[in-house]
Amino acid sequence: MTPPPSAASDPMQHASTAPLKVEQVTLSGSTMGLAPKMMLLGLVTLGAGLLLDLVAGPKGLYHFAHAYLLGYFFCLTIALGALIFVCLQRLTKAGWSVVIRRLAELIASTMPALAILAIPVLVFMHQLYPWTHAELVENDAILLGKQAYLNMPFFIGRVAVYFAVWIWIARKMLTLSLRQDESGDVELTRKAERLSAPAVILFALTVTFAGFDLLMSLDPHWFSTIYGVYVFAGSMVGFLSVAILGVKFLQSRGVLRDVVTVEHFHDLGKLLFGFTMFWGYIAFSQFMLIWYANIPEETIWFEHRMSHGWGWVSLILLFGHFVIPFGGLLSRHVKRDARGLVFWAAWQLVMHLVDIYWLIMPALNLAHGKVGAPGYAPALHAGFPLHVLDVLAVVGFGALFVGLVMRSMRGVNLVPLKDPRLAEARGFHNF
Amino acid sequence: MNPLDDKMRWLEKAGDVDAKAPQEMHGLLVEFDSPETLLDACRKVRDAGYTKWDALTPFPVHGIDEAMGIRMTILPWLALGAGLTGLAIAFGLQIFTNGIDYPFLVSGKPLISVPAQIPVAFELTVLFAAFTTFFGMLVLNFLPEVFHPLFRAKRFPRMTADRFGIYIEAKDPLFNRQQAELLFTRLGATGVEPVLSRTGRAPMPVMIHGVGLTLTLLALIPPALIVKSRYSKSDKPRIHIIQDMDFQERYKTQSAHPLLPRGAASMEPVAGTIARGELNEDDHMYRGMAGDEFVRGFPMALTESVLNRGQRQFAIYCAPCHGLTGVGDGPIARRADRLAEGTWVAPTSFHTELVLEQAEGQIFHTITNGVRTMKPYAAQIEVADRWAIVAYVRALQRSQRASIDDVPPDIRAQLAQ
């Protein structure tokens, strides 16, 4: 028997096998010039926020701390989504995603900068985390019981471990990939694939506990074991939206043109659709168990998010983060249409921000006296605390993060040129 | 051993059998040796206006849909429709069965409660969409294909390995063998093979009739048995399908046992022992009695925490009928009054002389064993909590008959103002 031919070459796909030009692979100097400007804009905006709250007095500091965490965690989830995306592509030995993987590797490589940006979160611990107040813990049987886990040295140590793990994985993945650009050694691909399996396990554990620590302990009485998965689901939605928008932006500058095709966008769209569904599934799983059991110590978290105007935000999430984009992204034609996909990616990115806002900001009400410990914090806002600080923090962090990602693109090929699966990726075709 | 050779040998044998029947032209199989020539040929066939034809490839070939002029499948629309149908059925079923036809409260949720219905709605949406996609794919592709004359073609097996083909059916209105052969030779075909099939339908083997008849008759037996048992009466006990659950190898209470003392399966406790948790020696504490009399006073010290505990337990277990102040106006009592329930015995007010004069032990006894229509609460409320409730009842009674002497001296002045 004659062995079957290994692959079909498609006469219509000649364009995708043409050798890559320099401008398709590297960012031009004029675009690179945006990076420091973006970073400066980000830092100035964040600084303006800090000034603004210092003028507002001690109450303002509470709001600034929460707004900072909002902007910070928003960017962190995107970097985390990029990190797990890289690991998953390596783990599954994916071919199609090779042309997108470098972008994800670079986004994940902002992890050291994000570790430094986590320091203010630790500085503002008193404003953020009620369990850091000794006088509050003393009078609270629940917090006393959690003290073995929720105490400052252990908390700071854990955050340090999370970032050590994330930085290590991100750096390892990027250097393996970059070294291959020079040597073309296939063994480097195998190394990355071998690394990806333990990396995914480490990632799952660290993201779960980072979610517990950084966000869930804002309301230290409350607990939900699915919370880490919820953060992960949101991270993937955030990263995939950024990936779609980022590739589109780069293509508008000439990079990745004719490299990332409608077929790759289609797959990114499918993943975005899938994780939109996954987010809805996880969000509902968390809600339904709590709603059904109806135990006050659990329902209080949703009670905070379904009253005082927050009910509207919850509804925006239900429809905006799940129902509407589910319908919007359902069709194959939308995922293959450049404008359609960009629209839904931008939409989901905004919704991801609303999601983080919804997770963090009700705790600000809590911080301002709802836990009710004397002298803990003065009541500032009852209800819905949308504030110019939130906008400044999000804009500042957004600009800073974009600047950081662009800075990491300096002198780096945006396509892994000697990846053994590059040809497969460029010839990739959905049926 | 090459599986392709096997197939060829099978084909020759099958062909011999079939060759005895009268044959007619079924179609023309054309062979190509590369996907490029195939795609090119497909475009030509498409443009020539043929309608009853197909391309055969050992693996999916990019762009063949377009080259063959195949329109987008309607399967996604079917899946969407089925998914929405599943969604509608799930909500409809749950709303009708649990909210309308047989209203049944679960966990105090509303009768028509969307969050509780979502898991079923989700599953049914997925189930309907998945089944429709899977079976719809089969139906739209005319699968499974048990037999096709093409299966007997000599060149067909290699089209599952390393050759490509176009098959044009003789039924196609444009079909003309000479013209087609000429066209394909020009397009780079490496071989052309006419495919024959027997004229008319092949007779069904007799054996199949027999097997079919037997299976049909056998299949009728279970429903016949069900119908029989539904419409006939029997004084025999029902069939026990799961024997070892229905008849467990153990002795039931009160049953006989030849080896044990007294000839009974149940044994008495060993003389002089008390089962764990049953050492309730303190008559005052556990029964509220001293000899034959209900005891006055409490078996424990009355502290603030005892009264707080009593208040909470009272609110949970007593207040629904007796009301929070103990006058007998709890929500259940009020509802019974509103509905004018004939069999309802109104809960006793704690502020009547009857209860005021009762010993603490008697109130404890009432909570423990119940009275009139009030059921016993021994199983729900622990002993210490029952006493705490008694203490709280006393506090309630006193609250309604308080005199100035009950007020602590240092705040009497405030009241006077």
pLDDT in tens, B72-85: 889 999 999 999 99
Q: Best interface-test mutation with A: which of B36, B62, B72, B87 has the largest number of A CBs within 10 A?
A: B62
The answer for residues whose C-beta is within 8 angstroms of residue A88's C-beta and 6 or more apart is A94, A196, A200
Contact predicate A407/A56, CB 8 Å: no
Flag whether B29 is in a domain.
Answer: yes
Give the residue among A378, A314, A354 at the shortest CA–CA distance from A59.
A378
Q: Best interface-test mutation with B: which of A9, A287, A306, A335 has the largest number of B CBs within 10 A?
A: A9
How wide is the angle at C-alpha B70 spanned by C-alphas B65 and B76, nearest 5°?
A: 95
pLDDT at res. A363: 83
How wide is the angle at C-alpha A201 spanned by C-alphas A193 and A204, nearest 5°?
A: 125
Residue B12 has pLDDT above 80, yes or no: no
pLDDT in tens, A304-344: 888 777 888 999 999 999 999 999 999 999 999 999 999 99
> CATH code at B392?
1.10.760.10
- Distance (Å) of CA B12 to CA A330, A386, B16, B18, B117: 50, 81, 6, 10, 60
Cα-Cα-Cα-Cα dihedral sign, residues A110, A116, A117, A122:
positive
Residue B168: which pLDDT band, with cuts at 50, 70 and 90?
A: very high
Residue B262 has pLDDT above 90, yes or no: no
Residue A31 has pLDDT above 50, yes or no: yes
Residue B160 has pLDDT above 80, yes or no: yes
Residue with tokens 């199949």: B208
- Rounded distance, CA B51 to CA B190, Å? 23
**Mean pLDDT over all residues of chain B?**
88
What is the bridge-based pairing of β-strands B23-32 and B164-169?
Answer: antiparallel
pLDDT at res. B177: 86
Q: How many CA atoms lie within 13 A of B344 on its CB side?
A: 16
Mean pLDDT computed over A165-186? 95
- Rounded distance, CA A205 to CA A215, Å? 15
Flag whether B99 is in a domain.
Answer: yes
Contact predicate A59/A378, CB 8 Å: yes
Flag whether B412 is in a domain.
Answer: no
**B115 and A431 in contact by Cβ < 8 A?**
no
Residue A16 has pLDDT above 60, yes or no: no
Mean pLDDT computed over A194-199? 96
pLDDT in tens, A352-364: 999 999 999 888 7
Residue with tokens 């309604």: B400
- Distance (Å) of CA B401 to CA A335, B328, B363, B397: 77, 17, 19, 7
pLDDT at res. B287: 87
Residue A11 has pLDDT above 60, yes or no: no
Residue B223 has pLDDT above 70, yes or no: yes
pLDDT at res. A58: 67
Task: Give, to the nearest 10 degrees, the angle between helix A58-91 and helix A98-108.
Answer: 150
Residue B11: which pLDDT band, with cuts at 50, 70 and 90?
A: low
Query: What sections of B258-382 are H helices per DSSP?
Result: 283-287, 304-313, 319-322, 331-339, 353-357, 360-369
- Rounded distance, CA B8 to CA B317, Å? 84
Number of domains in chain B: 2
- Rounded distance, CA A260 to CA A263, Å? 8
Highest mean pLDDT, choosing among A426-430, B194-198, B312-316, B402-406 = B312-316
Residue with tokens 């928008």: A245
- Rounded distance, CA A340 to CA B215, Å? 56
What is the bridge-based pairing of β-strands B289-290 and B293-294?
Answer: antiparallel
Final residue in a domain of this structure, among B199, B225, B251 = B199
Q: Which residue of B has its CA nearest to A293?
A: B107
pLDDT in tens, B87-121: 999 999 999 999 899 988 887 888 899 999 999 99
Contact predicate A114/A76, CB 8 Å: yes
- Rounded distance, CA A390 to CA A396, Å? 10
Residue B15 has pLDDT above 70, yes or no: no
Tokens of A212: 């517990």
Task: State how far Cα A242 lies from the chain centre.
Answer: 9
Check if A2 contacts B (Cβ < 8 Å).
Answer: yes
Whether the complex's predicted ipTM surpasses the cut of 0.85: no
Radius of gyration of chain A from its Cα atoms, rounded to whole angstroms: 23
pLDDT at res. B401: 84
Q: Is B272 exposed, middle or buried (0-12, 13-18, 19+ CB in 10 A)?
A: exposed
Question: Residue B60: its chain A contacts at CB < 8 A?
Answer: 8, 431
Residue A134: which pLDDT band, with cuts at 50, 70 and 90?
A: confident
Tokens of A151: 């105490």
Query: What sections of A26-133 are H helices per DSSP?
Result: 29-32, 34-56, 58-91, 98-108, 111-117, 119-123, 125-128
pLDDT at res. A376: 42
- Rounded distance, CA A216 to CA A384, Å? 19
Tokens of B206: 């007799």
Select from A12, A294, A332 the Cβ nearest to the Cβ of B76. Answer: A332
Q: Which residue of A has its CA nearest to B161?
A: A4
- Taking the CA atoms of residue B391, residue B395, residue B396 and residue B401 in that order, the dihedral angle to the nearest 10 degrees is 140
Pair B38, B146 in one domain:
yes
Flag whether B81 is in a domain.
Answer: yes
Pick the residue with more confidence: B282 or B79? B79
- Rounded distance, CA A261 to CA A72, Å? 32
pLDDT in tens, A58-117: 677 888 888 999 999 999 999 999 999 999 999 999 999 999 999 999 999 999 999 999
Question: Residue A288: its chain B contacts at CB < 8 A?
Answer: 115-116, 118-119
Q: How many CB pairs under 8 A join A and B?
A: 49
Residue A371: which pLDDT band, with cuts at 50, 70 and 90?
A: very low
pLDDT in tens, A39-63: 888 888 888 888 887 777 667 788 8
Give the residue among A100, A38, A428, A112 at the shortest CA–CA distance from A240.
A100
Mean pLDDT computed over A230-245? 97
Contact predicate A398/A19, CB 8 Å: no
Q: Is A288 exposed, middle or buried (0-12, 13-18, 19+ CB in 10 A)?
A: middle
Question: Residue A5: its chain B contacts at CB < 8 A?
Answer: 162
Pair B29, B167 in one domain:
yes
In chain A, residues 289-348 whose CB comes closer than 8 Å to chain B: 291-292, 294, 330-332
Q: Which of A167-176, A369-378, A380-389, B375-384 has the lowest mean pLDDT?
A: A369-378
pLDDT at res. A381: 46
Mean pLDDT computed over A223-233? 95
Residue A17: which pLDDT band, with cuts at 50, 70 and 90?
A: low
- Rounded distance, CA A239 to CA A244, Å? 9
Residue B60 has pLDDT above 80, yes or no: yes
pLDDT at res. A289: 93
Mean pLDDT computed over B192-208? 82
Share of chain B above pLDDT 90, in %: 42
DSSP classification of residue B165? E
Residue B187 has pLDDT above 90, yes or no: no
Residue type, B339: L
Which stretches of chain B sit within 8 Å of chain A by CB?
2-4, 35-36, 39, 58-63, 76, 80, 107-109, 115-116, 118-119, 122, 158, 161-162
Residue with tokens 């973006």: A38
Check if A284 contacts B (Cβ < 8 Å).
Answer: yes
pLDDT at res. A380: 41
Residue B24 in 3-state DSSP?
strand
Residue type, A114: L
Q: Which residue of B has its CA nearest to A331?
A: B76
Which helix (H) or strand (E) covers residue A22, if one does?
Answer: helix A22-25
Final residue in a domain of this structure, among B147, B176, B199 = B199
- Distance (Å) of CA A204 to CA A107, A115, A207, A273, B76: 19, 18, 5, 21, 34
Give the residue among A332, A345, A334, A315 at the shortest CA–CA distance from A237.
A345
Task: Locate the domains of chain A by residue range.
Answer: 34-426
**B118 and A284 in contact by Cβ < 8 A?**
yes
pLDDT at res. B13: 67
Domain span including residue B140? 21-199
Q: Which residue of A has its CA nearest to B61?
A: A8
pLDDT at res. A139: 81
Residue A10 has pLDDT above 70, yes or no: no
Tokens of A391: 């906008």
The answer for residues whose C-beta is within 8 angstroms of residue B318's C-beta and 6 or more apart is B326, B330, B389, B393
pLDDT at res. B229: 84
